[in-house]
Amino acid sequence: MSKSLLFTILAMTMSLNLWAQAKDPACRWAAGLAGGLGDNWDLELAASYRPVPYVGIGAGFAVMGAVSTDDEFMGTTADGVAQYSVDNTTRVAALRGELQFTTPGIKIPRQDGCSLALRLSPGVSLALPVNNNVHVTFMPNAPGVYDNHDQRYFGNHGGDAWYFHLKAQAVFTIDRFEIMAGYMFSNLDIYGGARNVSIYGKRLNLPKKSNENMVTLGVACKF
C-alpha cells in the first residue's frame, strides 16, 4: 500500500514537472527586491527557483532596523555612580530561506501576459549578528559638563539565532515581471542579540519582545 502510494506521488510529481516544462520551458528562476514596514523596517534581496509553476524555494538576504528608538536605552549603573547611553542593540540583517506555494494565475481580461495570483511562503530566518557587541558610553551621575567619556563594549551571550516567518502576498504578473504586495509575520526579535547584556550586574532596559507584523511590497524578474 505504501509503495503504491509513493509511486503515485512520484508519478504525479514527474507528470506535473513535464507538463510545466512543456508549457513554459523558461522562467524557472526569479530575482527581486522587496521592502517591509511595521514596527521595524526591512529590505530584502531574494532569489527563487521554481521546478514547477506553483511550487518553489527561495533564499534572501535582508537588512533591517527599528523604525524609532527612545530613551529606554539610557540608564544608571547599579551603584548609582555613573549614567550610561547604549547603542548597537539591534540585529542588522538576516538570511532567509522559504518554500513558496503559488495559486494558478487568473488572467486579466484584454491584457495579454497579465495575471493575478496568491502566494504563501513559510520559512526560517537566521538573525545577524546572533550576539551583539553593545557600545556603552559612561558619564558621571552628577550635574556638570563633561568632555571625556568612558566608552566600552559589552558582549551578549545566548542570543536566539533561528526564527520563523510567514509571507502572504498577492502577485501581479506582467510577462516576466512580478509585482508583489502583502503581509509578513515573523517572531524575529530585533533586540534579541542584546537582551542578555549585563552592565556591571544590571540588564539593559530594552523594549519588550514582540512579533513582527509588516506590510510588504516588492518586484521580481523571472528568467
What is the arrangement of strands in the sheet containing 133-140, beginning at the earlier edge strand? 74-76, 82-87, 133-140, 150-155
pLDDT in tens, 163-197: 999 999 999 999 899 999 999 999 999 999 999 99
Domain chopping of the chain, boundaries: 2-222
Q: What phi and psi, each to the nearest 5 degrees, are found at residue 127?
A: -75, 140
Q: What is the pTM of this model?
A: 0.78
pLDDT in tens, 118-142: 999 999 999 999 999 998 888 887 7
Domain 2-222 grouped into CATH 3.40.50.10140: no
At a CB cut-off of 8 Å and minimum separation 6, what does 197 contact? 132, 134, 154, 155, 156, 203, 204
* Whether the Cβ atoms of residue 186 and residue 216 lie closer than 8 Å to each other: no
